[in-house]
Amino acid sequence: MKPASPATMTATLTLAVLTAVVLTGCSSPRSDASAPQRSTRAPGPTPSLNVRAAAERDALAAYRGMWRAFVHAASTSNANDPLLTKYATSDALHTIQSALTKDRRQHRVAKGRVSTHPIVLSARPGTRPSQITLRDCADDSHWLTYHENGGLVDDQPGGKHSVTAIVEDRHGWKVTAFAAHEVGTCT
């Protein structure tokens, strides 16, 4: 049994509609190719785009950090591992801690790794986001559950799970909710 079986994930998510605004500048061609062209763009990066890009980068880092912390804590089934609270809070933290507590009671640990490839679905509000919604196809094929004494609980590898996550800026970016669906829900 996996420490956080997708069937036991209870976090609920509200997915926001991804909105993209594309700004393009147009200029008419000049008859004199040697004459200097006037730019329709302001010099330098647009500050609001930099803020959004930084928020997306930090949200993705928090999500990846949550999985690393989860895998680390699962190696000893330590629901109180301090790395967990660095990257997760609210429903996400509760989901992970519940799975680890259950494994501790059953004298189980998990070893291996989880591969993630998250992408940003949406950012709210658009220019200065405080909430980012992510989608991932997490692969736990190489994360197996063992008895504390070392024997495998089962030798059935996991697989690829569709995952949605909400990451919020709460004086630092943290995953607040996530749901991992059954094996085979993504490729």
Q: Which residue has the higher pLDDT, 138 or 30?
A: 138
Would you state the structure tokens that stand for residue 16, as one six-digit string? 């926001």
Q: Supply the pLDDT for residue 156.
A: 83
The domain made up of 7-15+47-183 has a fold known as Nuclear Transport Factor 2; Chain: A, (3.10.450)
- Going by C-beta distance under 8 Å and a sequence separation of 6 or more, which residues neighbour residue 53? none
Q: The tokens 């085979």 sit on which residue?
A: 184
Encode pLDDT of 174-184 as tens digits: 999 999 999 99
pTM of the model: 0.75
Domain residue spans of the chain: 7-15+47-183
Q: Supply the pLDDT for residue 47.
A: 65
Q: What average pLDDT does range 66-78 have in this prediction?
A: 98
Q: The tokens 């709460």 sit on which residue?
A: 170
Percentage with pLDDT > 70 across the chain: 74
Percentage with pLDDT > 90 across the chain: 70
Q: What average pLDDT does range 111-127 have in this prediction?
A: 96
Encode pLDDT of 87-104 as tens digits: 999 999 999 999 999 999
